[in-house]
Structure 1
Amino acid sequence: MTLASSLLSAISGLRHAFFTREGGVSQGIYESLNAGIGSQDDPVHVAENRRRMAEAMGVAPADFLSLYQIHSPDAVIADRPWDTATRPRADAIVTRTPGLAIGVTAADCGPVLFADPRARVIGAAHAGWKGALTGVLEKTLDAMETLGSKRPDIAVAIGPLIRQRSYEVGAEFVTRFTETNPSYAGFFVPSERDGHAMFDLGGFIRMRLEHAGVETIDDTGIDTYSDERFFSYRRSVHRKEPDFGRHVHALVLEAD
């Protein structure tokens, strides 16, 4: 049902989980632990799946928080629960409140979990290509600093995401990156198709974190496209499926 980062697992008073698609009640293309509120899955099934995730994190369902994600660089601070209808439009959450599990939804995009064991501040960011390029990782770090965190103290785990061997993009995609910074050309290798390239999202996320002052980074290395334990937006498109499931990857500070 879950995978863990050895880096984050070594931090006392912290629980985290990269959830797989196993252990839920959804059926068909959503089998089985689909947490996608925005999917076309049965809402009753999604609610039960999220209840199971909350239970695995050791919190009540009301304290298992996620966002209305919009592929933005925006980060919010959580100090109390919110409900599904009023969840913020943003792509990262940070908190220093014990017992609040914060998570991000993903199905190929990069889930990135942050923890400062000294300041007792945590964060979760949804880093697809757009968010990573426009600064969601840096904004997450900024928000953690407002709560007393210091970047050299922050440990970060990069979760399951679509990897370079599976992530083919067009020439206009490459141009968008290289026009931002010519050095970003290093995150692309030629594809077998003319005019296309393979993008290293995981490597790009790591680079942005390192340039932002993060010194301790773990990467699961898992490819959501090729690993059937995970939902994949791109795999669902290639299979001509009408929709796809979503994961929530989360962490929580244990109450004293």
Structure 2
Amino acid sequence: MTLEFLRSDLLGDVAHGFFTRRGGASSGIFAGLNCGTGSSDQAEAVATNRARVAEAMDGPLHGVHQVHSADVVTIDGPLSEPSTRADALVTASAGQVLTVLTADCQPVLFHEPEAGVIGAAHAGWKGALGGVLEATIDAMCDLGATRGRIRAAIGPTISQRAYEVGQEFLDRFEDEDPDALAHFANGADGKYQFDLPGYGLRRLRAAGVRAEWTGHCTYSDAGRFYSYRRTTHAGEADYGRLISAITL
């Protein structure tokens, strides 16, 4: 089966893709294109999946050890040390494939076409609240990008209708970013529904960049996407990781 990936017209003709789980070598609960080396999937299957993505992107994959931080790594040549703890990557060098892994969190790909600068960020609620999106934009500007020319696309992520949270979650946002309350809706039994992509879009646009969400919900489409929350609700032991990639 061939690989399937989603594109954003906003990013223009830069090579990029939000890869779905279709076309991979993994089986069982990981069936498909699981690219998460931190999962309990067979290492050989994950390596095969990542090699297929590298071939599709025509270059070696750069990744980091994601920790829900606002830390950004700048790639300017040799393959990034994969144990580097960070949640975003940027580069102005051709042939460098920047990747992030997600399974409900937001994968965000960035492109500044005139300066030739790209970025990729892993932005769950904690990273987005902590400023990883703005940090990625700042790092791109350090490489020569102009803020107003940066375009950002949020790929498949958990949607508001599937993202139930409790009072402590809302309280943390109220303490750190009161404007975020606009992205909470009342749910059942005193819970709330949080709009993660809506929150990401607000942060990106407030930072001065054009942004869009592809509109795909990871939780609601098990045939195409892995989902940490869906796996948890199903009582499964582990889950696959989707990969998103961009290169000049």
> Match of 2:27?
27
- Structure 2 counterpart SS, 1:142: helix
Alignment of 1:133-144 (within 5 A): 133-144=129-140
CA shift for structure 1 position 111: 0.3
Question: What secondary structure is seen at the aligned counterpart in 1 of 2:216?
Answer: coil
- Give me the whole-angstrom Cα distance separating, in 2, the residues matched to 1:182 and 1:245: 33
Q: Distance in 2 between matches of 1:151 and 1:68?
A: 27
Residue 74 of structure 1 corresponds to 71
What CA RMSD, in Å, does the superposition of the two structures yield over aligned residues?
1.0
Q: For residues 154 and 161 of structure 2, what CA distance do their matches in structure 1 show?
A: 17
Query: Residue 193 of structure 2 is aligned with which of 198, 220, 238?
Result: 198
1:83 Cα deviation (Å)? 6.0
For residues 35 and 213 of structure 1, the distance between their equivalents in structure 2, rounded to whole angstroms, comes to 32
CA contact (8 A) 2:63 2:80 kept: no
Task: Show the counterpart of 1:115.
Answer: 111
What does 1:63-212 correspond to in 2, within 5 Å? 63-82=60-79, 86-194=82-190, 196-212=191-207
Percent of paired sites with the same residue: 50
Kindly state the Cα deviation for residue 183 of structure 1 after the two structures are TM-superposed. 2.3
Contact 2:165–2:194 (CA under 8 A) maintained in structure 1: yes
Query: Is this contact kept in 2: 1:65–1:81, CA < 8 A?
Result: no
Structure 1 alignment gaps of length 5 or more: none
**Contact 1:18 1:159 (C-alpha < 8 Å) held by counterparts:** yes
Amino acid at match of 2:44: V
Q: What is the CA distance between 1:218 and its match in structure 2?
A: 2.2
Determine the structure 1 residue equivalent to 2:7: 4
Q: In structure 1, what is the Cα distance between the partners aligned to 2:102 and 2:211?
A: 19
Amino acid at match of 2:202: M
Question: How far did 1:193 drift?
Answer: 1.9
Corresponding residue for residue 215 of structure 2? 221
State whether residues 103 and 227 of structure 2, in contact with CA within 8 Å, keep that contact through their aligned partners in structure 1: yes
Q: Deviations 1:55-100 (Å, cap 9, x if unpaired)?
A: 11122xxx2111100000111101123366x431100000011001
Question: Partner letter of residue 222 of structure 1?
Answer: H
How far, CA to CA, are the matches of 2:179 and 2:66 in structure 1? 28
SS in 1 for 2:165: strand
Q: Under a length normalisation based on structure 2, what TM-score does the superposition of the two structures give?
A: 0.96
